[in-house]
Structure 1
Amino acid sequence: MLTDARTGRFITQRQVPRLALTKVTIDPSSNTLGLSAPTTSTLHLALNPRDADLSSQYKVRVWYDDVYGSSSSEAAQKWLTAFVGKPTRLLYRDSRETRLVPRYLPGDPTCHLLPQSGFADVFPFHTITEPSLSHVN
């Protein structure tokens, strides 16, 4: 998730339309994610960094919830800050962190369901319609 490094709030493409120019690639053989954009070099990041590789933990706000994320590399922060135009941080969801979302979906006591999400707006899945998808592609 991208966050404003000064405020700790998440950043979306609605706020920074320039993010639409980014291209994300995944290389399963090296277990890396590539991030590129016009006039930039490609940034390569580990898809599943070890806890020891994550430099710091930050409290961030996703809508009405405060959650923690682990910071990616300094190189990623510099790349994103230059591209976005303001101090920006890329965070991984901390695997030790749970974000319960019971106000949107009550739990089910019979199966001990406690709705939770990572950095998604509300739930760990989103729905998109065929016309919207064809417009994006």
Structure 2
Amino acid sequence: MREGASDVQGQIARLMIYPVKSCAGVAVSEAVLLETGLQWDRHWMVVDAEGLFVSQRECARMALIRPQIEADALLLQAPGMPELRVPLQASGPALRVQVWDDVVDALDMGPEAAQWLQAFLGAPAQRLLRFDPAARRACSTKWTDGVPASTQFSDGYPVLVTTDSAMDELNTRLAAMGHPAVGMDRFRPNVVLSGLLPHDEDHLGPLEVWDSGAAVAGLQLVKPCARCPIPNIDPATAESHPGVGDALQAYRQDARVSGAITFGMNAIVTHGAGAVLRVGQAVQADYTFG
């Protein structure tokens, strides 16, 4: 495939990682693309006393925890709390924990991290876990046409892709309903594309990423991202209001996922693991309807 010889051309407008599942995201100018997604994305997770993952669905205050990746540590900050640093390569007791229907191997980050989480979040949060680097969590092949893929603590697939024009469309509808504009951070994507029509990602085939005239990576958009109430939560305050969900209900029901409200597409990495994705790189794909 030649650069520019596709139905759709655009650019990477924004890259985001979410080091701790369901905590605040980090905007980055570049990120290493791994088979499991962007490096450090959903690499840590909070679990309850039974080892089940905790998210903003149960504990909206998670939105107020702001992670950063330092040279050798995960830094966590939250209002009224001292900073917490956890070594990036920390090891600890191995635990079996549950994320949705999957039970996976993880490493306990210790009592200091546990006490920090409990002090800020309360009872739901018991431990901070790191994905065991020796483990593999397979994605469901139901949506990948049998192509094997893996992820860490994401909901199910390595990368979430959407478009800035989709956000503009939603904010136009929110304004018409008398609601204030909201930010893309409510939808927690990894890759935000510009130069595309709203929700073009819903109907695209393989997405190629180009750099300096060469194709460097490929993503296959495999499953619409069905939305729970988290987009109703204001990341700045952790307060919830149904306006976003109400607006989406009017135009974003997707028959492919039994009429669920969707925003963005889950993707798997088809080639280019180890490549560096950068804001500004060109992307292209062909439409696939059917």
Q: Same fold (TM over 0.5)?
A: yes
Corresponding residue for residue 192 of structure 2: none
The two structures have a TM-score, normalised by structure 1, of: 0.80
Q: Does structure 2 conserve the Cα–Cα contact (< 8 Å) formed by 1:107 and 1:115?
A: no
Aligned partners of 2:92 and 2:108 also within 8 Å? yes
What is the one-letter code of the residue matched to 2:79?
P
| 1:48 match | 89
Query: What do the CA deviations read for 1:86-127 (whole angstroms, capped 9, x no partner)?
Result: 15211111011111122342434xxxxx21111111111122
Query: How far has the Cα of 1:7 moved from its partner?
Result: 1.5
What is the CA RMSD across the aligned residues, in angstroms? 2.0
C-alpha separation in 1, matches of 2:138 and 2:86:
28
- Cα contact 2:114–2:127 (8 A) shared by 1: yes
Cα distance, 1:27 vs structure 2: 2.0
Cα 1:106–1:69 change in 2 (3 A) is: farther
Contact 1:33/1:45, CA 8 A, preserved across alignment: yes
Give the number of equivalent residue pairs: 125
Residues 1:74 and 1:98: Cα distance change in structure 2 (over 3 Å): same
The answer on whether the counterparts of 2:110 and 2:127 sit within 8 Å (CA) in structure 1 is no
1:35 aligns with 2:84: no
The answer on 1:7 being equivalent to 2:50 is yes
Which runs of structure 1 show a deviation greater than 4 angstroms over 4 or more consecutive aligned residues?
134-137
2:59: which partner in 1?
16
Give SS of 1:126's match.
strand
Aligned counterparts of 1:26 and 1:99: Cα–Cα separation in 2: 23
The residue aligned with 1:127 is 161
- Do 2:109 and 2:130's aligned partners in 1 also have CA atoms closer than 8 Å? yes
The structure-2 alpha-carbon separation of the partners of 1:134 and 1:44, relative to structure 1 and needing over 3 Å to count, comes to: closer
Q: Which range is displaced more, 18-27 or 66-75?
A: 18-27
| Higher RCO (CA < 8 A, seq sep 6+) | 2
**Counterpart-to-counterpart distance in 2, 1:98 and 1:27:** 25
2:130 is the alignment partner of 1:96: no
Give the deviation of 1:129 after TM superposition: 4.0
Query: Which runs of 5 or more residues in structure 1 are unaligned?
Result: 109-113
- The equivalent position to 1:77 in structure 2, one of 97, 114, 117, is 114
Distance between the aligned counterparts of 1:134 and 1:8, measured in 2?
A: 27
- Displacement of 1:74 after TM fit? 1.5
Identity of aligned residues (%): 30
Q: TM-score scaled to structure 2, two decimals?
A: 0.40
Q: Is the 8 A contact 2:47 2:54 kept in 1?
A: yes
